Structure 1
């Protein structure tokens, strides 16, 4: 199988990829802003670990929303 190029994808596939990327960017931004504003006592675990977890897309931001905040 040859590697697909952006132009080989349908319009629906291009829009889905764009939407997923935008959602990841928004989630990461919201998590980082929340971490910057939230006191350490209201975060489960060290803030630095959560910032590093945001690099693991999309698992890190979702994990923070589910388990990181008190």
Structure 2
């Protein structure tokens, strides 16, 4: 039997809807990460649960990191 492996498609070979979805997803990720990093930088350390460097690192975990920071990383005002 032949081993059938699917070759990876180039971005330009994807259907327009798939390309649009990837672009929108990337923009959302960059916006979330940018907002989280900006907030971490401006917020005093005593208003953040845990060390700032931890949250900076976690903000690079796609979607999960920035959302986790906004939901659980900030102390209530």
- Scaled to the shorter chain, the TM-score interval is over 0.9
Higher-helix-fraction structure: 1
Gaps of 5+ in 1: none
How many equivalent pairs are there?
Answer: 70
- Aligned position for 1:6: 11
Which of 41, 45, 48 does residue 46 from structure 2 map onto?
41
Which of 44, 49, 53 does residue 58 from structure 2 map onto?
53
Gaps of 5+ in 2: 1-5
Largest Rg, 1 or 2: 2
TM-score normalised by the chain length of structure 1: 0.93
Q: Partners of 1:23 and 1:55 in 2: how far apart?
A: 13
Segments ≥4 residues shifted beyond 3 Å: none
Cα RMSD (Å) of the superposition?
Answer: 0.8
TM-score normalised by the chain length of structure 2: 0.85
Q: Partners of 2:71 and 2:32 in 1: how far apart?
A: 13
